[in-house]
Amino acid sequence: MVILEKLVQLWQSTGLALATRGQLLMLAVSLFLMYLAIVKKYEPLLLLPISFGIFLANMPGAGLMAPPQDGQPGGLFYYLYLGVKNGIYPPLIFLGVGAFTDFGPLIANPKTLLLGAAAQFGIFITFLGAILLGFPLLQAAAIGIIGGADGPTAIYLTTKLAPKLLGPIAIAAYSYMALVPIIQPPIMRALTTKKERRIVMKQLRPVSKTERILFPIVVTLLTGLLLPSAVPLIGMLMLGNLFRESGVVDRLFKAAQNELNNIIVIFLGLTVGATASAEIFLRLETLMIIGLGLFAFAMGTAAGVLLGKLMCWLSGGKVNPLIGSAGVSAVPMAARVSQDVGAKEDPNNYLLMHAMGPNVAGVIGSAVTAGVLLSLLG
């Protein structure tokens, strides 16, 4: 009898007995995202740790996100998640992004800053759409930022304005970043003509070392004076870039670009994924957020392409509108998509460096937009 009771007790402690339908569904979702990361290679550096975080968080009884209680320590991810909750990981990610980003194309062609700005249209139109659908003001702002296609910025703003929505918003932001090669090309082709897609742009001028060094300093100074709330993101982005361009701190440059960035990406991805538990994720609200995120991303892409068409017309056909789609900030994936769509029309047309201008402008633009929303609503 005692043996039977122990066997029943053992069974009741297993994940098979504790699992809910919601947890099993989330496990299936995580496996699908792992498939996209491993087989399809959609942003695997981000999507793989996020999907595995979802996988681990929905293991019945594992308690990886459990808070401390009754004198017992919390789960592993509970402590790692403090870096997200307290706004530490996103600026450190920006440090790494700045270290491996070349701002030369933007400096050489500053007009592309307008394309990065236009792509932020998706954020504001979705912000208004979320309000019309009944979301509170702060949550609507956090949902809108998905349109910037910048995961760290979305996480940073959401932790400040709507921390309860962090899981769905982070998953949506990073998923759409990973799906850039699928989402953007149909929009780009629908809004441009074959002739426009075949436009060959003039080679960019060389950018001096002095310009490269002054750029991060000037941008940080202007941001600090005009929009202090954006300094944590913009400042770390520009510090990483200054490490790169100064040429005097090679060890720091390599650490920011590689070791530090890789460690933070692992911690960020796992803990963001771990917030997508079944009880939080499987709600109508979450489906609405994912739908609004897709709308925001599509609107940002369309706005960038349409401004590109206007610049093409004003320049007498010297600007290929495809580079406008890169303004959504998913570096460097969006720039590669501009290159790929253009190359399908003309294999000898190289748009990558031209697209990098609006692409890095989009990174700055999404961080500035987050700072504006934080200043107005935070």
Average pLDDT, integer, range 31-60? 88
Report yes or no on 62 lying in a domain. Answer: no
Number of domains in the chain: 1
Helix axis angle for 166-178 and 284-314, nearest 10°, is: 40
Q: Give the per-residue pLDDT at 11.
A: 47
Nearest Cα neighbor of 363 from 143, 154, 208, 167 is 154
Average pLDDT, integer, range 53-78? 88
Per the structure, the complete domain to which residue 94 belongs is given by: 74-377
Report yes or no on 31 lying in a domain. Answer: no
Q: What is the pLDDT of residues 252-298, one digit of tens each?
A: 999 999 999 999 999 998 988 888 888 777 788 888 998 998 898 89
Report yes or no on 153 lying in a domain. Answer: yes
In which band, very low, low, confident or very high, does the pLDDT at 44 lie, cut at 50, 70 and 90? confident
Q: 69: which strand partners? A: 72
Report yes or no on 46 lying in a domain. Answer: no
Report yes or no on 309 lying in a domain. Answer: yes
Q: What is the mean pLDDT of the chain?
A: 89
Total-model pTM: 0.89
Report yes or no on 40 lying in a domain. Answer: no
Report yes or no on 225 lying in a domain. Answer: yes
Q: 257 vs 62, which has greater pLDDT?
A: 257
Report yes or no on 160 lying in a domain. Answer: yes
Nearest Cα neighbor of 327 from 299, 296, 350, 304 is 304
